[in-house]
Structure formats: structure tokens, C-alpha cells
């Protein structure tokens, strides 16, 4: 795994944890941005792996 892939994965995990926390505190509408950013990063990681 390259450094860029590791950084993308780490950021995705961080935003997932932030999203879970925001869901528990303020509901899904409050955490939507963090969860969607997590999905974007995971999709980016999968696309990079397929190349």
C-alpha cells in the first residue's frame, strides 16, 4: 500500500469516526457531510486500487 493510499484510508476512518459521533450527538442531518466525505474517500481508494 502506497503512502497516498494510506493517507486516504486514514482520512476516511477519521471522518467515519467524526460522522458516527455527530450522528449520536445531533442526528443524521448533522453528520451527513462527514459520512458523505467518508464515502467519497472510500470510493477514491477503491478506484486507485483497481488501476
pLDDT, one tens digit per residue, over 7-37 is 999 999 999 999 999 999 999 999 999 999 9
pTM for this model (two decimals): 0.89
What distance in Å separates the CA atoms of residue 26 and residue 18, rounded to the nearest whole number?
12
pLDDT at 38 over 80: yes
Rounded to 10 deg, the angle between the 3-26 and 28-50 helix axes is 160
Write out the three cell numbers for 40.
467519497
Instruction: Please report the pLDDT score of residue 12 as a whole number.
Output: 97
Amino acid at each position: 500500500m502506497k503512502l497516498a493510499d494510506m493517507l486516504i484510508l486514514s482520512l476516511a476512518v477519521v471522518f467515519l469516526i467524526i460522522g458516527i459521533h455527530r450522528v449520536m450527538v445531533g442526528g443524521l442531518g448533522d453528520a451527513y457531510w462527514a459520512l458523505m466525505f467518508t464515502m467519497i474517500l472510500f470510493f477514491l481508494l477503491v478506484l486507485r486500487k483497481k488501476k
